[in-house]
Structure 1
Amino acid sequence: MKFNDGFWLLKSGVKPFYGLQIVQAKSNATGYDLQVATRPIRHRGDTLGGPVLSVRVHSPTAGVIGVKIQHVLGEEPTTNIQLFPDDGPIPDVAFPTSDAGKNYVLKSGDLTAEIAENPYTITFKSPTRTLTESGYRHQAVYNVPSEWTTQSASHSSCTAQDPVSNPNPESLPPIIRYLNAELNISPGELIYGLGEQFGAFVKNGQSVKVWNQDGGTSSDQAYKCVPFYITNRNYGVFINHPGEVELEVGSEKVSRVGISVADTTLEYFIIYGATPLEILERYTRMTGRPAILPSWSYGLWLSTSFLTSYSSETVSTFLQGMKQRDCPVRVFHLDCFWMKQYEWCSFTFDPDNFPDPKTYLAEIKEKYGVKICLWINPYISQLSPIFKEGVKGGYFIKRKDGTPWQWDLWQPGLAIIDVTNPATRKWYCDKLNALIDLGVDAFKTDFGERIPHASVVFHDGSDPMRMHNTYSVVYNEMVFNLLKERFGKDEAVVFARSAATGGQRFPVHWGGDCESTFEAMAEAMRGALSLTVSGFGYASHDIGGFEGHPPPEIYQRWVAFGLFSSHSRLHGSSSYRVPWIYGEDAAKTMAKFVNAKHRLMPYLYNLSIQANTNGHPLMRAMFLEFPEDRTTHYLDRQYMLGPSLLVAPVFVPQGEEAEYYIPAGKWTSFFHSERTIEGPRWVREHVPIEELPVWVRPGSVLLLGPDGIGRPDYDYTQGLEVRAYALEMGTTVKVDVPLGRGVALAGSVAVRRLEADDGGIDVNVTSGIQVMSKFLVQ
């Protein structure tokens, strides 16, 4: 929210109450409780007016310090972000000290907060430098006339104004009260994250609303908004608020991040880390780590697409064609029209196209070795045969008059299930259980962003503003946990579009509706990089783009990008995405990349274990791995797939040169090991349509599965090829070998570069692990 007119003036009608000086301070085991006056206190009479900010500066775990600012102390809200959902906080932690009652210090791990009494400021420091500060007049209550806040998501979305969904809209109060905090941006400091944002990867200069919306990939709206950002200055900021959070990232005051909420409480945490990955470890410890996903989910997903034919003949032809062209499909996805039109969601196969769905699914699973995924969402059309069940049971979000909230967007008279109601969750899961009994293995949990927040009531009394984003987490958790119950802890996977803080625990997430252009492909990458620096371990996207029909060139470039993403799905809107539609050469290219991904599974599955145990994403922005190389801080058209593979998708037409950056060291081409590049340097080259620049980091050891294995789920302990890249003399690198089930390891492979002149390698393996070949790339 922008409160100022320039730097010196306020917008018309805005009245601020800035935190100016501490008038009372009490220490406790985890920090300080402060009372901060919003007017100068010179004598007792000055205490008789104006709000007082209650500020708690505390540390919940090592290396993390929180600042909780409260204006009105009342009941704690019931809808909150769940903190430490996995293992709980690591205690420590805080050591509060004071200096003659005028200055206060809180130390947690290597992070220190220094609090000055008058003027009131908080400065956050690492062992080597100042990270950021909340300076004088950087905390405030703002009274804002409601007429100029109407652009806020909380007051102007179509759900608030639509006469069908909200026939009796409530008028806004004349004044809306915001809490605001500002943090300093140092020269050269760059800011990233805030969920899946499709605009510029570096967020400096942007206004960002943490408010989920269904806006595609070409706007400033996002499906997965997360109130967490990470900087290149060794810290991250997590705003602990589940509702709408507005951030001005150097976009109002160019050297500050402004954080505002239309609420009585604003809490943020400064998270220190010596490296960016350490920051993500601490952040995901607080908000949850990504789940381990089944090994089969890393294979190729093929969709029916959206508006296309779903006949059994079409499906069988496509699956057979993929198999014949060495592009084996591991997951077959049926999109919306597996159900009858106008009846979404009925959770019933359209009898005209699927007269015997159980037999049909069993046949294609047996013949083609695929898992089955179905499209679902939390919306129920009034023409669905189960709509009256939902009304009678009270399973839908209600208006304040007790009637179901409905509107006509997407489906006629659409209602939305109330996930806060235990009876609703059981009813909904019973419908999904019946589909699992038919042979379904996974669900695409679409939508979850258009959740009403005006004049509605949730079953458990949740604040609708705080539920709008939170809904997506509860929805995906509900489906994910059902799959865990049916198939086992490490066999659950959803393909989700919406998410919020904590949603990383229920993967995988894809990037939503994008066009079939190079620009949209770049949007998808920026969204994925932004999401994975926001605590999410996995990222996917619609290969070829969702809208439109991609030219063969764009399709092939996107196939390469998609198969070097964590999860790979072919999906479109009104056209198919099987490769031979784009030419038989496209099928050959796809076969090459599918095989490469299968062979890389021992490496990729290890990355999944790291995501689950440490919060490290598979797809990593370059600065996560190379924070000391300032060039990497701006890169958003290439990424690291784990610590060892640099992937540089091509975004330019044939005939133009692609450009990407190689950090320091001797890097080796993954596909052409005879080719090496010495970095740091920029590379400009013509990349053949069937190629993808993939470079292996010096000092890496890769374990590859057998060539032509044909699937991602196989025995990772057998038939391994060991590749060592540019190991220094006398160096030993140990690589874990996963079992492919949960976090369990089968053993390890230790590779040592011999010091003899022949420059060979010595390989030692744990008993039971079979190495078929080994070689050193110098």
Structure 2
Amino acid sequence: MSKERYIVKQAAFLLIMSCLFISCHQSDYKQTQEGVLIWPENSKEGDTKLIQLQVVSDEIIRVVATPEAELRDRKSLIIVDQKEPKVKYNLEVKENNLELTTSKLKVRTSLQTGEVGFYDLEGKPLLQEHKETNKKFTPISVDGFKGYSFKQVFDSPDDEAFYGLGQHQSDEWNYKGKNEELYQYNTKVSIPFVVSNKNYGLLWDNYSLTRFGNPNDYGQLSQFKLYNKEGKEGALTATYTTGKGEEFTKRDEADIDYENLETVKKFPADFPFNNSKIVWEGEIEAKESGIYHFKLYYAGYTSVSIGGKEVVGERWRTAWNPNTYKFTVELKKGERVPVKLDWKPDGGISYVSLKALSPRPAEEQGKLALWSEMGQELDYYFIHGDNMDKVISGYRQLTGKATILPRWAYGFWQSRERYKTQDEVVGALAEFRKRKIPIDNIVIDWSYWEEDQWGSHKFDASRFPDPQKMMDDIHAMNGHAMISVWPKFYINTDNYKELDAKGYMYQQAVKDSVRDWIGKGHIGSFYDPYSQGARQMFWDQMNKNIYKFGMDAWWMDASEPDIVSNSSIEYRKKLSTPTAIGSSTEFFNTYALMNAKGIYEGQRSVDPNKRVFLLTRSGFAGLQRYSTATWSGDIGTRWEDMKAQITAGMNFAISGVPYWTMDIGGFCVEKRYETAKEGSEDLKEWRELNTRWYQFGAFVPLFRAHGQYPYREVYNIAPESHKAYQSILYYNKLRYRLMPYIYSLAGHVYFDDYTIMRALVMDFTKDTKVNDIDDQYMFGPSIMVCPVYNYKLREREVYLPKGNSWYNAYNGKVFEGGQTINADAPYEKMPLFVKAGSILPVGPEIEYTSQKLNAPIKLVVYTGTDAQFELYEDEGLNFNYEKGKYSTISVKWSETDKKLTIGERKGEFEGMPKERIFTIVFASETNKVDFSFDSYKGQEVKYKGNAIQIELK
């Protein structure tokens, strides 16, 4: 062969190989209209075979991964149709990475392993999938449905903080390095959306049991070497003592696991739980050194000590409604450490367990990690923004805008478990009106039906003889009514039979003859809201029996669904499977979302221009698009429960659902409060607890009192002469005076995806001291709320974020930011501060939200830096705001020019006042303004819709 022929042949060979390589390399990915499909080269069994990157917007990227050859045609329950135009992006291969670039982000995906990383345009990392634990899949089959369990781990720098995940009751705030299980239960609302202080969010589109942090379940105490009181290895000593102080039995127990209806059967037979006591004690020896994460599940009075130190002070929950509390303990391998769990059940059979997770390296524990039990594909959305509001706006772009609730919903609601008659309902509202206590909503709780007619939606005629008159009487007093409707039906009701005939009822509870706690006990079950037909029928039954009377709002209780309280998670799944679209294992967390969808769409179908309003005990991503708020469930009446609501509410708000509330005063009551006598210490504490809780409750998105006996009406808490009554009335009236501010924020929620209850980290992200502040928050842009949550506390530490000056709301004193102060907290007052550079619109004293709508408004300008506020108004009860029927007035303060500009009114609506009187009050270090408001005359101006300027005099 000649040299020339050899060279030509070699060149041809290299050309062919090069083409083959290019062809092979190009086949690793395929561009689509919305993004790109990628087939990683090094895919192994259980790894990802196909990844889809979908460009939703310049700052929202969807990532879908599957171990299968093709993606499934999956319809998301939480994502709404995206109507934005297709986003321009570029694709480029760089060193075995496919780089997708939008105008705001770079997304790099390894063509070899499929790892995805998100970067800004300068290449600074925002979020990166961890290389060694990247998208792992395990097949799972349940109820004849197939899917996968999977996990995803992301790297996280040490200074990162995580928020969101819904509402949980362990009083945890920043989730960095912590673990949280995402499932629905009474007092626990899980939303798989996490927001970072690095200005991104991750929305995990999965509906099954999910774990944030450690993917493993908590293990029994038997994972340790255990020693009883005598030092014998194998178990702890459990001593059971009766209410008479007599030892019932003593036995060795290797596990403390009595957390559901199945496991409580392991208690000693015939043990009398009333007034009893059980103590587990001995020693534990760790098999490895490190930080152990413990989870205490408890009802009754419970405390825990480890190593001679009390790690859990006495906590309480009512017997039928346990709570979870988490703590960490560092243990050394081979070291025996004393342990003691002291437990006093509060009533009949109760629940308690203590479990632990073994140590993980700090770096691993601190990562952003998610594991889900079942899904068809791993599916998440990366959402970037300049701040947390922009990130939450991206969440709402994906899952739907939050509506504006009816104006009256932002006023005060009075509820009780329960008003038993029509006269009690109307009488309670009449008493508020008689006393001139502001109120807008009275609530009709459960059991307004005949005892054996749960699910009939029919009033018991012996107690509610004329529902139409009841509603007419409520409306005549300028009130509104919300009624409790459960998704539960007794088998003898007509509604059950109608639903069951179409296959719309879950059957397991009926098959198991499960009886509830009413009277002799009745058999029933819940309907399946995953069926469109079932949702429509459920609404039709509500419409026919209740809505026809003019009911204003719906209270969707037990929407977890709580078919049988205190069941194990496995039995809970069994009770609600199969759903119309798959196994309850796969759709475990979305019942409340589908239930709300049915009511929202149902009411708008029959009454399209009356604002829908729902309150639900559970929720999920997307709930906000159905005019739905969530409350924190049947919480306890303890100071620690009040404190836990602060973190619960802040994390829920960052989870993207803006409307949240709680039972002011707590729902489940300690017996000592039920029997408290006048002059007793217990009654003094009860009144102070409710006073502090009302102070806090006036500054959450929805202001609502509810609970078991003692009754929660202010006049039942204390007499008019008592400072508890006077303080509660003061904050109620203050809430109503701030209604122009609050309702404007509601407009901001809809039009700008705003969040009303704002953790400090949302507005002061650059001040790293706020990352872990879990007991202060902003109510809108101006008011910092500092609840008092300890008995007899008369001052509390308050951190004033740097970069701003702060006004004491009660005396006008100005403080520089960046410092911690001891703020006065007398019985009657909770510390409140107003940020310098705020404009606070204040209305007159009113008794209901539709009163004096066109009255003069005070604009209180807190000077010190530039400020602006947009006053929003609309018709208050309908959906005309969706059609542009509303008005806004922009108000701006220039610190340099010392001028306030009230801008030109934009928009209009029926009934809008053509003229307004504004009174301008300027607060400063020398002009000390307080929240009495009426002691300041200010400068009065007539506003006719044209821009005007007012100079500081």
In which range does the TM-score fall when normalised by the shorter chain? Answer: 0.7 to 0.9
Distance 1:69 1:696 in 2: 47
Distance 1:357 1:484 in 2: 22
1:750 aligns with 2:883: no
Counterpart position of 2:100: 106
* Cα shift at 1:363: 2.3
Contact 2:28/2:41 (8 A) holds in 1: no
Question: 1:184-224: CA deviations, max 9, x gaps?
Answer: 1111111111111233111123322332223x3xxxxx2x2
Change in CA separation of 1:343 and 1:36 when aligned onto 2, cut-off 3 Å: same
Distance 2:491 2:205 in 1: 37
Counterpart position of 2:807: 668
1:770 aligns with 2:916: yes
1:208 aligns with 2:202: no
| Of 79, 97, 120, the match for 1:83 | 79
1:523 aligns with 2:644: yes
Task: Name the SS of the counterpart of 1:192 in structure 2.
Answer: strand
1:187 aligns with 2:158: yes
Change in CA separation of 1:39 and 1:364 when aligned onto 2, cut-off 3 Å: closer
Output aligned runs, 1:164-313, within 5 Å. 178-199=149-170, 200-214=172-186, 216=187, 222=188, 224-248=189-213, 253-261=364-372, 262-306=374-418, 310-313=420-423
| Of 502, 520, 523, the match for 1:413 | 523
| Of 18, 35, 40, the match for 1:36 | 40
Change in CA separation of 1:745 and 1:379 when aligned onto 2, cut-off 3 Å: same
Distance 1:464 1:117 in 2: 36
Query: What amino acid does structure 2 have at the position aligned with 1:713?
Result: S
1:390 aligns with 2:499: yes
Output aligned runs, 1:357-436, within 5 Å. 357-366=467-476, 368-398=477-507, 407-409=514-516, 412-433=522-543, 434-436=545-547
Task: Name the SS of the counterpart of 1:560 in structure 2.
Answer: helix
* Cα shift at 1:127: 3.8
| Of 488, 492, 498, the match for 2:618 | 498
TM-score after normalising by structure 2? 0.69
1:481 aligns with 2:622: no
* Cα shift at 1:25: 2.6
Distance 2:430 2:755 in 1: 34
Distance 1:395 1:32 in 2: 40
Contact 2:860/2:922 (8 A) holds in 1: yes
Distance 1:603 1:249 in 2: 42
Contact 1:701/1:724 (8 A) holds in 2: yes
Distance 2:896 2:390 in 1: 34
Change in CA separation of 1:457 and 1:112 when aligned onto 2, cut-off 3 Å: same
Distance 2:29 2:895 in 1: 62
Question: 1:482-525: CA deviations, max 9, x gaps?
Answer: 33345544621111111111112222211111111111112222
* Cα shift at 1:457: 5.3
Query: What amino acid does structure 1 have at the position aligned with 2:922?
Result: L
Distance 2:696 2:46 in 1: 57
Distance 1:693 1:91 in 2: 49
TM-score after normalising by structure 1? 0.84
Counterpart position of 2:655: 534
* Cα shift at 1:317: 4.2
Question: 1:18-42: CA deviations, max 9, x gaps?
Answer: xxx99823333443322225568xx
Contact 1:716/1:740 (8 A) holds in 2: no
Change in CA separation of 1:490 and 1:532 when aligned onto 2, cut-off 3 Å: farther
Contact 1:738/1:745 (8 A) holds in 2: yes
Change in CA separation of 1:184 and 1:605 when aligned onto 2, cut-off 3 Å: same
Change in CA separation of 1:425 and 1:134 when aligned onto 2, cut-off 3 Å: closer
Query: What amino acid does structure 2 have at the position aligned with 1:292?
Result: I
* Cα shift at 1:560: 1.1
| Of 829, 835, 847, the match for 1:710 | 847
Counterpart position of 1:582: 717
Change in CA separation of 1:171 and 1:669 when aligned onto 2, cut-off 3 Å: same
Contact 1:420/1:458 (8 A) holds in 2: no
Contact 1:448/1:475 (8 A) holds in 2: yes
* Cα shift at 1:51: 5.8
Change in CA separation of 1:140 and 1:127 when aligned onto 2, cut-off 3 Å: closer
Counterpart position of 1:163: none
Counterpart position of 2:863: 726
* Cα shift at 1:289: 1.6
Counterpart position of 1:509: 630
Contact 1:565/1:619 (8 A) holds in 2: yes
Task: Name the SS of the counterpart of 2:153 in structure 1.
Answer: strand
Contact 1:23/1:36 (8 A) holds in 2: no
Distance 1:762 1:25 in 2: 56
User: What are structure 1's unaligned runs of at least 5 residues?
Assistant: 1-20, 41-48, 147-153, 156-169, 217-221
Question: 1:244-263: CA deviations, max 9, x gaps?
Answer: 33222698522422222334
Question: 1:383-424: CA deviations, max 9, x gaps?
Answer: 445333333343313469xx8787435663221112233443
* Cα shift at 1:266: 0.4
Task: Name the SS of the counterpart of 2:775 in structure 1.
Answer: coil
Task: Name the SS of the counterpart of 2:586 in structure 1.
Answer: helix
User: What are structure 2's unaligned runs of at least 5 residues?
Assistant: 1-24, 216-358, 564-571, 674-684, 906-912, 925-953
Task: Name the SS of the counterpart of 1:504 in structure 2.
Answer: helix
Task: Name the SS of the counterpart of 2:551 in structure 1.
Answer: coil
* Cα shift at 1:120: 5.1
Larger Rg computed on CA atoms: 2
Distance 2:615 2:46 in 1: 50
* Cα shift at 1:84: 3.1
Change in CA separation of 1:249 and 1:106 when aligned onto 2, cut-off 3 Å: farther
Change in CA separation of 1:52 and 1:623 when aligned onto 2, cut-off 3 Å: closer
Percent identical among aligned pairs is 20
Contact 2:559/2:616 (8 A) holds in 1: no
**Aligned-pair Cα RMSD in Å:** 3.1
Query: What amino acid does structure 2 have at the position aligned with 1:657?
Result: E
Change in CA separation of 1:116 and 1:753 when aligned onto 2, cut-off 3 Å: closer
Task: Name the SS of the counterpart of 1:523 in structure 2.
Answer: helix
Counterpart position of 2:686: 551
Change in CA separation of 1:676 and 1:716 when aligned onto 2, cut-off 3 Å: farther
Task: Name the SS of the counterpart of 2:600 in structure 1.
Answer: helix
